[in-house]
Structure 1
């Protein structure tokens, strides 16, 4: 059972990151809220893992904090919500924003996420309400746990920011037309892929 990885970030292609741990590369899928907080390439990161074993695959889902992982685990216990949809939910909003939706019974915001219909949104609000109380109490005052080496320099911005952002949105379940429109509207010269994805996701909520 893999519960935590500490290694060097060697590839970043949202929502997936490749982490080298003593010469072994682990492919980890992450919600964008965690992906944004990864250090740059060739820097060291600590990622908390939810490990899924299927007949045809072994999948790693990564999170910057244990609280984010705990929320993911609560989400996938909800009827009709699998790991992919849980990643989409946590990519479209932070844990605090999701809790806010639950507290306000905000179906309208949840249904804007790809793959979340009205019935799923309503089920989430009902099933998550009591479960989230303990989670948010445990997360109060918690710190994000990742390591940056002292010689860290930001990864250079490349010309494929738009392509990377569109690919990330498509992998999260958004339709090509939606993704292209949102990315084009948010794009400005020099913007990084991560920031472009973040702004594009925010514009669709």
Structure 2
């Protein structure tokens, strides 16, 4: 079983890259985010690998980080989510954005990915609620706040501030992360108006 490849980027396709490892080129299928993260042709790279073996083929899926690979595994535990759909979600959303969408039950955000219709988006956020892995893309404090918001347990002022910031164009992941840092410093009894003001300052810094 191949777990990781270290080699040189040989070439790119629409949804795959060829990695030259000691003269043997491995074809790895990736999200667009991983393809964009890989270095230029001829440069050294490290790719985390998930190997799928079937009777008629062996296919390698590659990830820029172990966090992305973990999300690939988790997404595919949902009925109706195969490798192609999981890569589509990872192409459309960062790990932090997926965490936020699931914690906040934001099916519209998940539905932005190719291959994810309204029913599947609902199934994803419902079945993965409470199963979001922590990773370098999002800290424990942010996850805690997002979970509280998603379960309706967050203080009203915090919920209102998140809503106000998202209405101003920030993603729920950005708003939750900024407010998590503020609440950790100021406490959750801070007024909604001050939360919004400090949140905007945090997001613009």
Name 2:134's counterpart in structure 1: 136
Sort the Cα spacing of 1:140 and 1:121 in 2 relative to 1 into closer, same or farther, 3 A.
closer
Segments of 5+ residues of structure 2 without an aligned counterpart are 140-205
The alpha-carbon deviation at position 137 of structure 1 amounts to 4.8
CA RMSD of aligned residues (A): 1.6
Q: Which has the higher contact order (CA 8 A, sep 6+)?
A: 1
The alpha-carbon deviation at position 107 of structure 1 amounts to 1.2
Say whether the 8 Å CA contact 1:14–1:35 is kept in structure 2. no
CA distance in 2, matches of 1:17, 1:89: 19
| Bigger shift: residues 58-67 or 108-117 | 108-117
The alpha-carbon deviation at position 52 of structure 1 amounts to 0.4
Name 1:16's counterpart in structure 2: 16
Q: Give the greater-gyration-radius structure (CA).
A: 2
User: Aligned pair 1:42/2:15, yes or no?
Assistant: no
Segments of 5+ residues of structure 1 without an aligned counterpart are 142-205
Say whether the 8 Å CA contact 1:49–1:63 is kept in structure 2. yes
**What TM-score comes out, normalization by structure 2 length?**
0.64
Q: Write the deviation string for residues 72-98 of structure 1: whole angstroms up to 9, x where unpaired.
A: 011111111000000011111111111
Name 2:86's counterpart in structure 1: 86
Q: How many residues align?
A: 139
Q: Write the deviation string for residues 105-160 of structure 1: whole angstroms up to 9, x where unpaired.
A: 1112222322212221111111212211xx2157668xxxxxxxxxxxxxxxxxxx
CA distance in 1, matches of 2:138, 2:97: 14
Name 2:71's counterpart in structure 1: 71
Query: What stretches of structure 1 move > 3 A for 4+ residues in a row?
Result: 137-141
| Bigger shift: residues 108-117 or 35-44 | 108-117
3-state SS of paired residue (1:129)? coil
Name 1:25's counterpart in structure 2: 25
The alpha-carbon deviation at position 14 of structure 1 amounts to 2.9
CA distance in 2, matches of 1:138, 1:44: 23
3-state SS of paired residue (1:98)? helix
Say whether the 8 Å CA contact 1:101–1:109 is kept in structure 2. yes
The alpha-carbon deviation at position 54 of structure 1 amounts to 1.2
